[in-house]
């Protein structure tokens, strides 16, 4: 969801409860648009995160330590000057908007006590972090806004801080039943109930409006004229009481692959069974789980841009070639017709003459014996026309053999690129991406990797989990690791797992010659299903002993063949779930 005023209210309530009279120990700037304050209250130490970037602006408490640049930016140095050792004496929401004001007690350069304010505005792409003195005069800001950038509102040192203009709407905590019914009566009945909520109430995100409408009607895009007024009133009043009592329910939802989809201060039900809801004891834990994964995905996507582009271009090129070859294969299927015509011409040589452009004959090879008209080359003799048809037949037959072989090769290439794409999406660090670059280089894509130089040694670091029965599971992070696990690390009696006909990791269960339990098999198959491109609640996973796995000579990394195997249909299980289990 968008970080709305209700979420700001919830985060500030948690900050005040967890860190009363907090002292600022450190100031860091791990990213251009993020400032982290290490704050301490008693024995509790947290990081207070101000992220005012365009992608995920937010205010949150966090336990995640981030790597800082070797040289602190100027804004960070200025904040250290102002706030190192200072105390936060209050944390309030300005109006009912996405603005938090932290009043800080500190000392100036001469050692005299002074009061300053840290104002965090979470306004989407206009988000900003502003420092003012006790009289609200701007001292500095992370994003300086001058007259050239905006003629409506400037943020410049020396100017008085101006509150952003907010529409005149009802504050949710002040909502009454009469106000709701009056707003519904005045609102255009053809417009949606979700628009009614966001245009009438202050600080409500679209996702929360969807949830409230869904609770009232079981649908999302429902016109005001089709919704029960009583049920909508009931849903809104229950939501108001949640905000008043601060009975928050931190919730994050993920898709089937585990990718974060949304988060909220209350339960999310409108997304249905397509997502999995996870509840947390605090907003700190929820935000860490949600944004850590989001930040990881974004960071990896940025660093993997070169190989993502390479793989996408290669896939598009391969798909184009496959389309052309498949079309040519359909054309080659006419070869049998050429042979058929050649036989009919040969059978009618006695009645044909040079110069004929066509002739009609009975098709004795068809049970219904229809008449067919066959076109001839008038320049050739009847026997030469028959030989011409046989030559076209032989040419089509040869083309069919070559095209069939080429299509198999290009289909294998496309399947390989899909496996690489799957591993890129699951890469967790730069080392994972380096291994994938090395794999693509070895697979013959070196000519398309500009300025790439293969590294002398890249250590394979497969993921490692343990089943309930104590058996170690090794999971490949890319196709090179898949080959190393299956053919160099695994013993012949270990068990090999892989999703059926779907790109994914090779999973090795090291058995030491023992026979694992059914539960161990199920957990290992679930891991193989999770670390693949499979979707759905039940995934087909093949498994067999490693001794049954073969690698064809000259095949792509990660490609194997096997005949003796079993297939299990399991629910995907993440490594985290296995640890928790």
Q: Which helix (H) or strand (E) holds 435?
A: helix 430-440
What residues have CB less than 8 Å from 331, skipping those under 6 apart? Answer: 396
Q: How many CB atoms lie under 10 A from the CB of residue 237?
A: 14
Token match 């002074």: residue?
A: 114
Residue with tokens 């974004």: 298
- SS3 call for 34: strand
- Give the distance from CA 287 to its chain's centroid: 17
Residue matched to tokens 């309030």: 92
Cα separation, 475 vs 422, in Å, equals: 14
Residue 324: its pLDDT value, please? Answer: 86
pLDDT for position 451: 63
Taking the C-alpha atoms of residue 90 and residue 6, their distance in angstroms, rounded to an integer, is 19
User: Is residue 268 packed enough to be buried (19+ CB in 10 Å), middle (13-18) or exposed (0-12)?
Assistant: buried
pLDDT of the chain, 581 residues: tens digit per residue: 678 999 999 999 999 999 998 999 999 998 889 999 999 999 999 999 999 988 789 999 999 988 788 888 999 999 999 999 999 999 999 988 999 999 999 888 787 899 999 999 998 778 999 999 999 999 999 999 888 887 778 899 999 998 887 767 899 999 999 999 999 999 999 999 999 999 999 989 999 999 999 999 999 889 999 999 999 999 999 999 999 999 999 999 988 767 788 999 999 999 988 888 999 999 999 999 998 877 777 777 777 888 888 888 888 998 998 888 888 887 777 777 888 888 888 888 888 888 898 898 888 777 788 888 888 988 999 899 999 888 988 888 888 888 888 888 888 888 888 888 888 877 777 778 888 888 887 777 766 666 666 665 556 578 999 999 999 999 999 998 999 999 999 999 999 999 998 999 999 999 999 999 999 999 999 999 999 988 778 999 999 999 999 999 888 889 999 988 999 999 998 877 776 54
287 CB-near residues (< 8 Å, 6+ apart): 58, 60, 61, 62, 263
CA separation for the pair 481, 477 (Å, rounded): 6
Domain 172-301's class?
mainly alpha
Q: Determine the Cα–Cα distance for residues 470 and 465; give it in Å rounded to an integer.
A: 9
pLDDT value of residue 579: 62
CA distances from 562 to 513, 516, 559 (A): 20, 21, 10
Residues whose CB falls within 8 Å of the CB of residue 64, separated by 6 or more in sequence, listed in order: 47, 288, 292
CA 198 to CA 172: how far, in whole Å? 11
Task: For the chain, give every domain's residue range.
Answer: 5-141, 172-301, 320-420, 463-580
Q: What is the pLDDT of residue 366?
A: 78
Structure confidence at residue 453 (pLDDT): 63
For residue 459, give every residue at least 6 positions away whose Cβ sits within 8 Å of its Cβ, in sequence order, or none: none
Q: What is the 3-state secondary structure (H, E, C) of 94-136?
A: CCCCCEEEEEEEEECCCCCEEEEEEEEECCHHHCEEEEEECCC
Sign of the four-CA dihedral 219, 222, 226, 230: positive
Query: Which residue from 55, 52, 197, 59 is spatially nearest to 123, judged by alpha carbons?
Result: 52
Residues contacting residue 302 through CB under 8 Å, at least 6 positions apart: none
Q: Is the pTM of this model over 0.75?
A: no
Q: How large is the C-alpha radius of gyration of the chain?
A: 34
The CATH class given to the 5-141 domain equals: mainly beta
Is the torsion defined by CA of 532, 534, 535, 540 positive or negative? negative
Residues whose CB falls within 8 Å of the CB of residue 465, separated by 6 or more in sequence, listed in order:
472, 473, 475, 527, 575, 578, 579
CA distances for 204 relative to 1, 48, 207, 287, 466, angstroms: 10, 24, 8, 19, 44
């Amino acid at each position: 969801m968008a970080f709305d005023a209700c979420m700001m209210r919830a985060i500030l309530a948690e900050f005040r409860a967890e860190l009363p009279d907090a002292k600022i120990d450190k100031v860091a700037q791990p990213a251009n648009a993020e400032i982290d304050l290490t704050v301490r209250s008693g024995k509790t130490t947290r990081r207070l995160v101000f992220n005012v970037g365009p992608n995920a602006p937010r205010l949150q408490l966090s336990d995640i330590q981030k790597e800082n640049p070797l040289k602190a930016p100027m804004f960070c140095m200025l904040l250290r000057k102002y706030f190192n050792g200072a105390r936060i004496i209050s944390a309030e929401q300005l109006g009912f908007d996405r603005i938090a004001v932290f009043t800080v007690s500190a000392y100036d350069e001469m050692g005299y006590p002074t009061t300053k304010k840290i104002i965090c505005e979470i306004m989407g792409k206009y988000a900003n972090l502003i420092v003012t003195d006790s009289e609200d005069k701007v001292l500095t800001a992370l994003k300086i806004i001058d007259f050239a950038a905006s003629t409506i509102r400037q943020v410049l040192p020396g100017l008085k801080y101006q509150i952003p203009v907010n529409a005149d709407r009802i504050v949710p905590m002040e909502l009454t039943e009469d106000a709701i019914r009056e707003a519904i009566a005045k609102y255009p009945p053809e417009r949606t109930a979700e628009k009614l909520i966001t245009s009438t109430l202050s600080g409500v995100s679209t996702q929360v409006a969807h949830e409230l409408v869904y609770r009232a009607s079981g649908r999302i895009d429902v016109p005001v004229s089709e919704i029960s007024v009583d049920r909508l009133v009931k849903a809104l009043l229950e939501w108001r009481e949640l905000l008043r009592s601060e009975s928050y329910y931190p919730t994050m939802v993920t898709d089937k692959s585990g990718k974060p989809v949304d988060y909220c201060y209350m339960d999310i039900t409108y997304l249905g069974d397509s997502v999995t809801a996870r509840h947390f004891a605090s907003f700190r834990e929820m935000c860490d789980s949600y944004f850590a994964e989001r930040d990881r995905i974004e960071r990896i996507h940025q660093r993997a841009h070169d190989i993502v582009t390479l793989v996408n271009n290669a896939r598009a090129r391969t798909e184009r070639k496959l389309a052309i070859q498949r079309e040519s294969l359909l054309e080659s299927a006419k070869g049998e017709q050429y042979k058929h015509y050649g036989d009919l011409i040969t059978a009618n040589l006695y009645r044909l003459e040079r110069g004929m452009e066509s002739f009609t004959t009975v098709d004795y090879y068809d049970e219904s014996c229809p008449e067919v008209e066959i076109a001839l080359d008038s320049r050739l003799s009847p026997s030469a026309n028959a030989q011409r048809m046989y030559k076209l037949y032989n040419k089509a037959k040869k083309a069919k053999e070559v095209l069939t072989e080429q299509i198999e090769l290009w289909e294998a290439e496309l399947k390989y690129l899909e496996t690489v794409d799957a591993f890129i999406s699951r890469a967790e660090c730069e080392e994972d991406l380096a291994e994938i670059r090395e794999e693509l280089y070895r697979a013959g894509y070196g000519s398309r990797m500009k300025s790439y130089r293969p590294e002398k040694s890249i250590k394979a670091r497969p993921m490692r989990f343990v089943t309930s029965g104590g058996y170690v599971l090794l999971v490949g992070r890319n196709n090179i690791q898949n080959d190393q696990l299956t053919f160099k690390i695994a013993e012949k009696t270990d068990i090999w797992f892989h999703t059926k006909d779907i790109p994914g990791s090779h999973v090795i269960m090291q058995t030491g010659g023992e026979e694992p339990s059914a539960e161990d098999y199920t957990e290992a198959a679930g891991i193989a299903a999770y670390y693949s491109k499979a979707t759905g609640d039940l995934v087909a996973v093949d498994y067999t002993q490693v001794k049954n796995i073969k690698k064809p000579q000259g095949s792509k990394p990660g490609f194997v063949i096997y005949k003796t195997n079993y297939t299990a249909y399991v629910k995907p299980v993440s490594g985290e779930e296995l640890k928790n289990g």
